[in-house]
Amino acid sequence: MVDSVFSDLPSAAPDAAVTLDGVTKIYDSGVMAVGPLDLDVARGEFISLLGPSGCGKSTVLRLIAGLAAPTSGSIAVAQSAGVSRPDHRIGFVFQEPTLMPWTSVRENVGLPLKLAHRPAAEAQTKIDAALAQVGLSDFAERFPRELSGGMKMRVSLARALVTSPDILLMDEPFAALDEITRFRLNNDLLELWRSLRMTVIFVTHSVFESVYLSQRVLVMTARPGRLSAEIRVETEEPRGEAFRTSIAYADYCRRVSDALAPAYAGASAL
């Protein structure tokens, strides 16, 4: 059934960063997790995948990252001219910080460079830059257990940024954090996105987070995950706390919630 997985680039817009065409994923157990799914993400775009738990959002990210292969359909990730190593165009932030507890923040952030055999001097510069981007310059020599949940997530983000990826995949990264920390990280993420001009695909089950962060919210159905609605969030940039408390924001949230409701109605477990 695996036909044309890594075939020629589908006829998408030339500035597409990620293109999914008729992608399905069926697990060995026979469970159909995703699909069929079509998705186009433009270069520099910030999109959110929103859906109920277990709808295959995370699976979509894993498919894009190449951590799993689709059962059918094709996935194209655009080559970036500026990046010499093709495998470094993607950064991934997991649901948990996923840090190595036995070593320092510096070593954790530098891991992708170490695995790519980058020279130590160059690595140190990049690690320092990545730590500065997430505001953790003073914590380079700490161990993960000495940090708070929010700081651990920042380390995880710095590790994803250290290779200067042009696509950042984030899998419910802030779900376990308290609301204040989450708001701050949302703002910092938006700022990083603006300054680094990355493509961000952000998976979440929070309506409010998806509307606040993204230019496009893609609502997914219950398993098997398919796209059921697409809501474009158009507002003044850069966004900030003013947007979070605006009427327009509340309005978008209501529209997204309404679009999400059928997915939950369809989920038999609830």
Residues of this chain that interact with another protein (CB under 8 A) are 62, 65-67, 87-88, 90, 92, 94-96, 98, 100-103, 111-112, 114-116, 143-145, 163
Bridge-based pairing state of the strands 46-50 and 199-204: parallel
Return the ∠ at Cα 136 (arms to 134 and 141), rounded to 5°: 140
Task: Supply the minimum distance, in Å, between the C-beta of residue 117 and another protein.
Answer: 9
Which residue number, 39 or 61, has a Cβ lying nearer to another protein?
Answer: 61
134 closest CA partner among 100, 101, 116, 159: 159
- Lookup: tokens for 47: 């999109």
Phi/psi for 40 (5° steps) reads: -120, 125
Task: Supply the minimum distance, in Å, between the C-beta of residue 166 and another protein.
Answer: 15
Which residue number, 93 or 222, has a Cβ lying nearer to another protein?
Answer: 93
CA distance 114 to 183: 32
CA distance 109 to 127: 6
Task: Supply the minimum distance, in Å, between the C-beta of residue 143 and another protein.
Answer: 6
Report the phi/psi class of residue 66: left, alpha or beta, with left for phi > 0 and alpha for psi in -120 to 50.
Answer: left
Task: Supply the minimum distance, in Å, between the C-beta of residue 115 and another protein.
Answer: 5
CA distance 235 to 68: 36
Task: Supply the minimum distance, in Å, between the C-beta of residue 61 and another protein.
Answer: 10
CA distance 91 to 161: 7
Task: Supply the minimum distance, in Å, between the C-beta of residue 134 and another protein.
Answer: 17
